[in-house]
Structure 1
Amino acid sequence: MQPDHLSSLAFADLPLHPRLQSGLQKLGFSHCTPIQAQALPRALAGEDLAGQAQTGTGKSAAFLLATMQRLLTVPRAEQDEPGQPRAIILAPTRELAVQIYNDAVGLGVDSGLRLTVCYGGAGYELQRQNIEAGVDILIGTPGRLIDYFKQGTYHLKQIEVLVLDEADRMFDLGFIADIRYLIRKMPPPAQRKNYLFSATLSQRVLELAYEHMNSPQKIEIAPDQVTAERVRQQLVHVANDEKLPFLVGLLRKLNAFRSLVFINTKRGAEDLERGLRANGFEARVLSGDVSQGTRLRLLEDFKEGKLPVLVATDVAARGLHIPGVDLVVNYDLPQDPEDYVHRIGRTARAGASGDAISLCCETWVYSLPEIEKYIGNRIPLMADAHALIPEDVVRVAREGRSRPRNGGGGGGGGHGRRSSRRRR
């Protein structure tokens, strides 16, 4: 019997190229996820797609298989310039671009297709050289892609497939003008295949789809289910100076293999890292100021289990697929309700289950009503949560201070917002 997170549609039953079937077999993938089951038959039939599905549901494999199928079954035109990209995949963040590239390498291991990824912050000359060496599928972030394009490193006249991933995030990060610039340099929509995927198919995303795609088929997977059902959500009301002690007790009790702790500020993340290290936990910070090389090493160490606790600002909340995250902790409640969904979506991915525990403190309590309204229910309170707070917590003063503030809890004091009230 198939796991309930997979569909009954087997990859072997799809008219995929034998080289792609070989890649799927090597990865151990036998059956489609729901988004793949809906998207792939339509894409293989030649339709454009505008797809909505939660993160971790297999969207990347859906558009990668469709893209590779096109390139393997339709040869380059004789008049085309060799080495120029035939497909381009645009991602809003460098982490997501790298993840898509890694997925493509696995799926296309036997395809013979040449893949290149480019993004800002690292490897400028090497990335340019990789493109110049010849590429079939070009993956990257808009800024770096435009940079190389304007230099004449590559052109877009031979693009047969366009993929926009996390389109809603493209709007959030202000990339839409860049995307339209690149699209205008490509053949018209009717002369290429177009796949757009997004966590939400808002009106602005759909307008982008209908403007630059060829009558796309709209696909929605569980659009009314805001949070993944396999995430066990719990809420704990804590004072600011209880936050670090509670987290220490929680990590000791659960002994999770991979714990992802979200916090709202870079300064708070650095303080928390020091506090966790002082209490015997190997922890590192992932924030916007971390260099690209360090960021990729941290993510790789976290994926491999070498780094058990990753403290992150919302730079890591979207678009990252990290298999096997056991525990997500909202050390600070996010200010944007959508960020809550994206944060807890880092666990319970691809049919697995996981825990998401949110600390509701004096500073960030005002975010709770909006979060619960957005997800459509109240987050269950954790029973006997305060019994987890240990007596032997090592408290570390913030840098530049001679003694801990608020008992060294790491949450920071209030900033004019109303104070926390525990629900009965």
Structure 2
Amino acid sequence: MTDEHLSATHFSGLDLPAPVRQGLEDAGFSHCTPIQALALPHALTGKDVAGQAQTGTGKTAAFLITVLTHLIRHPAPTDRRPNQVRALILAPTRELAIQIHKDALVLGAHTGLTLGLAYGGTDYDKQRKQLADGVDILIGTPGRIIDYFKQKVFDLRQTQVLVLDEADRMFDLGFIKDVRFLLRRMTPATERQSMLFSATLSWRVMELAYEHMNSPVKVQTQDEQVTAERVRQVIYYPGNEEKIPLLLGIMKRSNPDRSMVFVNTKHMAEKVTAWLQGNGIPTALLSGDVPQRKRQRLLAQFETSVFQVLVATDVAARGLHIPDVSHVFNFDLPQSGEDYVHRIGRTGRAGAEGDAVSFACEDSAFYLPEIESYIGFKIASEAVDPQLLLEHVQPPAKIERKRGGSGDRSKGRPPADGDKPRRRRRRKPTGKN
């Protein structure tokens, strides 16, 4: 069955409890996306599912609908203690965990099920108290959850449902040992329902699935290419000195309501932000060392169009779900095909169209062959027409820089994720008895 036929599947044709139907209606969902149409018929019967689909295709709703339905139809055992979670949803980044929780609040509003959220960087004691009081569904990042688990704030011996979201990113960010630690301390795979969703079901991901799931059904949308078909991709070959005028020129002409500009280093992020602000474009900067509260504030302002552009490194942008991003600009080409797919997946989400514009400059053009090999086709190229370059470029604005800090990285686990187990500081003697 083609993805077009799958998209015609209506939620009304699925066997769902009334509270879940009401949540779908509140969210404005009527028809399934292809991955939902493939996964839900299996998942709603209690089968384990390993699903593959591109980013922004409705995977979150697929597993939330399943989790809510399962918990409603399989009441908690009478001997369950309040601090024993019934469902665990693991995400690789705090932004994704926050987004899943936000979606769960809408879809689960009429179910009576309680939600908990645990991620690093902020609200340590608040999150801890919430879990100690007891929640049905725990959503969060592995490190912070393990921290509370080791303190016996909650336990996993009554877990009825497990979800691993973006499993491929779990590997990329080095979370797999943490994930396995948790999976080995919950109910056996034969006594719970498990779901795994990923943009790519590589052999590493499927090994994880077969090790910790119960004969999972593998479902995969029929995407002919790794990147979203509705994203128009183009690449320019500017000289280094042409990159800023070219970026400004394209932005001035296309005037996108909401766009993201990706760079490879924090230093370049600051530089690009300064040029955009200096030329009258409201811009925010998101790098790996931005504190969590400020990150959330910037993202909220970006979603409400306080800022027109968000400049980000890969470290800062992993797991972001921002609606209505019309343009993605790769000011620097990423070092891998996976990062390229992740970046341009910020636009063209949930069936919408989008534009991905990349610059293959003197410093990053040699990454292009690997990117094109990964996505399976050559990206259309266009000449750098002098008319595209902004003619009168204004000086960059002054960007306040924080002294110190550990900088940013283009690879590896985010240094600011804050989800490592918290170390207790010793109090210094006061000299008082």
Which residue number corresponds to residue 22 of structure 2? 22
Amino acid at match of 2:149: F
Question: What is the total number of aligned residue pairs between the two structures?
Answer: 398
Name the CA distance, whole Å, in 2 between partners of 1:154 and 1:386: 62
1:4 shift after superposition: 5.0
The letter for the 1-side match of 2:151 is: Q
How far apart, CA to CA, are the structure 2 residues paired with 1:109 and 1:158? 23
Cα distance, 1:386 vs structure 2: 3.4
Residue 370 (str. 1) matches residue 370 (str. 2): yes
2:415 matched residue in structure 1: none
Runs of 5+ in structure 2 lacking a partner?
401-433
| 1:245 and 2:217 are equivalent in the alignment | no
User: How far does residue 66 in structure 1 lie from its aligned partner after superposition?
Assistant: 0.3
Distance 1:86 1:99 in 2: 20
Shift of 1:196: 0.5
**Aligned residue number for residue 281 of structure 1:** 281
Contact 1:114-1:135 within 8 A present in 2 as well? yes
How far apart are residue 281 of structure 1 and its match?
A: 1.0
Tell me, yes or no, if the aligned pair for 1:233 and 1:356 is still in contact at 8 Å.
yes
Over aligned residue pairs, what C-alpha RMSD do you find? 1.7
Contact persistence 2:84–2:154 (CA under 8 A): yes
Q: Residues of 2 paired with 1:85 and 1:397: CA distance?
A: 50
Contact 1:14 1:41 in 2 (8 A): yes
Residue type of the alignment partner of 2:15: P
1:64 partner letter: L
8 Å contact from structure 2 (residues 332, 359) kept in 1 = yes
- Going from structure 1 to structure 2, the CA distance change for 1:237 and 1:117 (only over 3 Å counts) comes to same
Residues 303-345 of structure 1, C-alpha deviations (whole Å, 9 max, x = no match): 2222110001002444322110010000000011111111111
What amino acid does structure 2 have at the position aligned with 1:123? D
Cα distance in structure 2, aligned partners of 1:323 and 1:5: 25
Secondary structure (helix, strand or coil) at the match of 2:250 reads: helix
What letter corresponds to residue 251 of structure 1 in structure 2?
Answer: M
What residue number does 1:254 align with? 254
Aligned to 1:414: none
Q: Is contact 1:258–1:326 with CA below 8 Å preserved after alignment?
A: yes
Q: SS at 2:359's partner residue? A: strand
Q: Equivalents in 2 of 1:315, 1:303: separation in Å?
A: 20
Taking a change above 3 Å as real, the CA distance of residues 385 and 27 of structure 1, as seen in their structure-2 partners, is: farther
Rounded to whole Å, the distance in 1 between the matches of 2:231 and 2:367 is: 20
CA distance in 2, matches of 1:280, 1:139: 40
Partner in structure 2 of residue 408 of structure 1: none
- Give % identity: 57
Q: CA deviation at 1:263?
A: 0.4
How many Å apart are 1:83 and its aligned residue?
A: 4.2
In 2 relative to 1, CA 130–5 (structure 1 residues): closer, same or farther, beyond 3 Å?
A: farther
1:383 is displaced (CA, Å) by 5.5
CA distance, structure 2, for counterparts of residue 166 and residue 206 of structure 1:
13
Q: Secondary structure at the match of 1:350?
A: helix
Matches within 5 A, 1:310-329: 310-329=310-329
* Contact 2:233 2:356 (8 Å CA) reproduced: yes
Q: Partners of 2:133 and 2:399 in 1: how far apart?
A: 48
CA gap 1:366/1:5 in 2 versus in 1, 3 angstroms: farther
Deviation at 1:224, TM superposition (A): 4.4
Distance change >3 Å, CA 131–CA 378, structure 1 → 2: same
- The answer to whether the 8 Å contact 1:5/1:33 transfers is no
Identify which range, 317-326 or 213-222, moves more after superposition.
317-326
Offset at residue 110 of structure 1 (A): 1.3
Moved more, 134-143 or 105-114: 105-114
Post-superposition shift, 1:396? 3.4
Q: Distance in 1 between matches of 2:155 and 2:338?
A: 37
Residue pair 1:113, 1:136 contacting (<8 A) in 2 also: yes
Aligned to 1:151: 151
Shift of 1:122: 0.7
Matched residues in 2 for 1:304 and 1:391: separation? 30
Secondary structure of 1:370 counterpart: helix
User: Which residue in 2 is equivalent to 1:216?
Assistant: 216
Given that 1:236 and 1:385 are in contact with CA atoms closer than 8 Å, whether structure 2 keeps it comes out as no
Partners of 1:302 and 1:309 within 8 A in 2: yes
Aligned to 1:409: none
Q: Match of 1:77, SS?
A: coil
Q: What is residue 50 of structure 1 aligned with on the other side?
A: 50
SS at match of 2:105: helix
- Mapped partners of 1:44, 1:329: distance in 2: 39
> Highest relative contact order (Cα 8 Å, sep 6+), 1 or 2?
2
Q: Which amino acid aligns with 1:165?
A: D
Deviation at 1:249, TM superposition (A): 1.1
Describe the shift of the 1:84–1:399 C-alpha distance in structure 2 as closer, same or farther (beyond 3 A): closer
1:142-221 to structure 2, matched below 5 A, reads: 142-221=142-221
Shift, 1:280, TM fit: 0.7
Between the aligned partners of 2:7 and 2:250, the Cα distance in structure 1 is: 36
Query: Does the 8 Å contact 2:260/2:325 carry over to 1?
Result: yes
* 8 Å contact from structure 1 (residues 317, 339) kept in 2: no
- 8 Å contact from structure 1 (residues 259, 308) kept in 2: yes
1:9 alignment partner AA: T
Partner of 1:136: 136
1:91, 1:330 → 2: CA distance?
25
Instruction: Report Cα offsets for 1:349-378 as digits up to 9, x if no partner.
Output: 100001100011111111111112222222
Structure 1 counterpart SS, 2:116: strand
Tell me the CA shift for residue 82 of structure 1: 2.7
Distance (Å, rounded) in 2 between the aligned partners of 1:87 and 1:105: 15
Please state how far the C-alpha of 1:142 moved relative to its aligned partner. Answer: 0.5
What SS does the aligned partner of 1:272 have?
helix
What's the CA shift for 1:394? 1.6
Deviation at 1:222, TM superposition (A): 2.5
Match of 1:406?
none
In structure 2, the CA distance between the partners of 1:323 and 1:398, relative to structure 1 (3 Å rule), is: closer
- Establish whether residue 263 from structure 1 lines up as the match of residue 263 from structure 2: yes
Contact 2:162–2:194 (Cα < 8 Å) also in 1: yes
Supply the distance in 2 between the matched residues of 1:125 and 1:307 (Cα, whole angstroms). Answer: 32
Task: Name stretches of at least 5 consecutive residues in structure 1 with no aligned partner.
Answer: 401-424
Give the whole-Å Cα distance in 2 for the aligned partners of 1:35 and 1:263: 31
CA distance in 2, matches of 1:129, 1:359: 48
Aligned: 1:396 with 2:399 = no
TM-score by length of 2: 0.89
* Counterpart for residue 119 of structure 1: 119
Q: Distance in 1 between matches of 2:394 and 2:176?
A: 47
